[in-house]
Structure 1
């Protein structure tokens, strides 16, 4: 398959090096737009991920104020639209910080990594641990693809 003319034209006007190898295969875009119709429908989407979806816990660390669970899972998108994700994005790695004692409710905050946040340390130390101490809220820290592991 040849290079898209739109990609070539766009690259001529680019000042940065983002997307210099194109935006992907047109058939992948078609597959993503078809999947968007499924995920956009609430009735079809609510059962998209089963309640017993497999999550692997690799290591559990006992801390004074919490438990830290290290693990991974396969992205549900890989099952829905096989081959659409780059290999580095198929396996999602995470740390889950759970307070030693839960209160009446069990709130969880999901922390996505910002640009340059290569591992869990910054989010764990500056956000998740204080949240456990102050409010008893658990935190799920997702690792960015292409970083560390």
Structure 2
């Protein structure tokens, strides 16, 4: 090995690096992750930069062994006005983990929570086309 290589390549690699488990509470592991919205690739001029990155949280039981155990996963979409993951985590994922061996993916809707543009007030969308 000669050296670290191109620093811009290293920066790109770190951008796509997997995050570690963000939080452990009770018998649940919360893993925060993100991906680029496909709409941002096809129609970039219609998608604000805050909306282009989709954020989600994977919730699994603490005793789940990655790569060894298989587990059912439910996708929990947020309702209108639901900013963040806390309500769905409290009312849905806790029950699924505690009563059934089911994990959850909590997806943050565009224009809400982490994906809300700074000039948008609360849940009020700026334009009809944002729907």
> TM-score, normalised on structure 2?
0.61
Residues 116/81 of structure 1: CA separation in 2 closer, same or farther (3 Å cut): closer
Instruction: State whether residues 58 and 71 of structure 1, in contact with CA within 8 Å, keep that contact through their aligned partners in structure 2.
Output: no
Instruction: State whether residues 55 and 71 of structure 1, in contact with CA within 8 Å, keep that contact through their aligned partners in structure 2.
Output: no
Instruction: State whether residues 131 and 138 of structure 1, in contact with CA within 8 Å, keep that contact through their aligned partners in structure 2.
Output: yes
Give 5+ residue unaligned stretches, structure 1: 1-53
Q: Deviations over 1:32-90 (max 9, x none)?
A: xxxxxxxxxxxxxxxxxxxxxx5753652122211101121111332344434333321
Superposition RMSD in Å: 2.4
With CA pairs under 8 Å and 6+ residues apart, which has the higher RCO, 1 or 2?
2
Counting matched residue pairs gives: 96
What is residue 101 of structure 1 aligned with on the other side? 63
Instruction: From the CA coordinates, give the structure whose radius of gyration is larger.
Output: 1
Segments ≥4 residues shifted beyond 3 Å: 80-84, 102-105
Please, which moves more after superposition, 139-148 or 103-112?
103-112
Residues of 2 paired with 1:78 and 1:58: CA distance? Answer: 26
Written as runs of structure 1 = structure 2, the 5 A alignment for 1:80-119 is 80-102=42-64, 105-119=70-84
Residues of 2 paired with 1:62 and 1:135: CA distance? Answer: 19
Residues of 1 paired with 2:94 and 2:45: CA distance? Answer: 36
Deviation, 1:101, is 2.7
What is residue 101 of structure 2 aligned with on the other side? 136
Residues 57/144 of structure 1: CA separation in 2 closer, same or farther (3 Å cut): same
For residue 113 of structure 2, give the secondary structure of its aligned residue in structure 1: coil
Give 5+ residue unaligned stretches, structure 2: 1-15, 115-131
